Structure 1
């Protein structure tokens, strides 16, 4: 008899039990009982090795030749009339993409060139006004060859980043940053780990240095980051404030009734009180109105008697995030905007929150 008959339900249960045993056996091989601490130790060791790589990079800046080379690189990037063409292959290519994004968003026009596409027409994007920044840990990636030849043929400045001083990239570059030859966190010393961390950190250091050299401000940053949370934190008051007819205002001799009508029209929960020259001298809010009505005041009386004097105000070029902080601190919902003492706008907390300001 070749095999015994097994009912369908029992067969399914039997197969599940066998599968469970195989999974259990596999799990025990991957994570032996009691080895959790060893795995945590491995993760910590990886971080320690990466930190050592960053310390090695920082130490290089104290070397006169390395620092001088870095300054020459910054100087060339400051003077470039075109763009920075950043390139690399493999993991260095991924770092090059990130470096491109950081440079572009911080005031240095940059574009990533994939070496595999360079020899198929994309070299046409490189102009004599550009400079090429080439990343390669080994300095011997064959895919970079056409780009090196193109730079030499058309006298395009070539900046290199490699850990091997005798490599093709190092020898071909007009300026070459010699990265520290760090220990990889990979136990086989094969997978790029620490070396790419160091490359990434150097790219950030280069971008920040260029930012400071250019005097790249928060205003400039906002121009390149109009959307998202970063953009929201850099919005100016003038971009969100109500202006012109939207701003509720009355003269100090206006009646309480007139002030109430103006508040209702603008729907901001208050109105500014100004003098004959348009200078802000007070504020009259919903709270002031409730207190006034409770006191059974005559609605024909002048609002100037009941307004809040020296109200909180901000300038139009203040950060909206600072205005929101002021509102929270003083527990108010409405701020008036003044320029040289004159009322120019009004800002409600709802407008700030709607814009994502925090």
Structure 2
């Protein structure tokens, strides 16, 4: 059935505007009840929210802050302003930072890669400060950079004042904002994200285990970060991938390490049991040849700007339908990548996802004869 539906979806694109039936709404099981101040479960590929509680309430992030710190450093690596092999001089401020430690030593040089692993795997507050000082000169300037990236990612309810999450009245975030940066980190930096699944890291002769309990309790889990302060409670941003489906869970303000782990597992298991994801059209695949006016040719192949993925309740795949919504202006010249409409996937009356539809090649304006012919055709 699944392969048949995939073959038929382009056919649906043509027939749905005629009003063919598309299936009924479905009821999904309620999410589990959790001991947490706030939580969120989202599908990585589609961003669909599968479960939530107080997902937009401002809460203290504790060491979840280090996800934003890592993302900020990864962006600097991508810009080639810094390199993994750079040797970072450890300041007294970094060395004296309290809480969880990587155990770097003042006055010594540590590679930037080791500092990242010390922060990601060992949750080193000292490593976080050393990274911030190296990237921006001081913690305050680095926090400004963190906030700039947060704003760009749409994290509208977050504000960062330090790179490690130590308590500060002006340091806050939400479960939804934490999911946003987690998705961005995995999508933009898969090569660095692999470090989050490392079970342990050794530096300066000291081996410390990864604090994420999901790595030992769920073989499909591969990240991301724990956090704890007395005010924030026990927090965890988790991620797991089963088959082609990846979920992001955010749990904040639980009363104990055990409650944190059990809540995260309950959310992930609920999501995987209740929902399924399907890639309907890969990026770059021609979906249709649209009629274009005044061009060197009459039609132009169009396809999705990115993968068209649908997250739906399990067992409802055959109720999916899709259509193209075209823009009104379909006149040459058109450049490759220009948006010409949307691919809209629905299930019953509910719109599941909407992805921009773009030109897959350039289409220059045609000669005078073609332009004149199309002008006449458009009159009729």
TM-score by length of structure 1 reads: 0.20
TM-score by length of structure 2 reads: 0.19
Choose between structure 1 and 2: higher strand proportion.
Answer: 2
Relative contact order, higher structure (CA 8 A, sep 6+): 2
Choose between structure 1 and 2: higher helix proportion.
Answer: 1
Q: Which has the larger radius of gyration?
A: 1
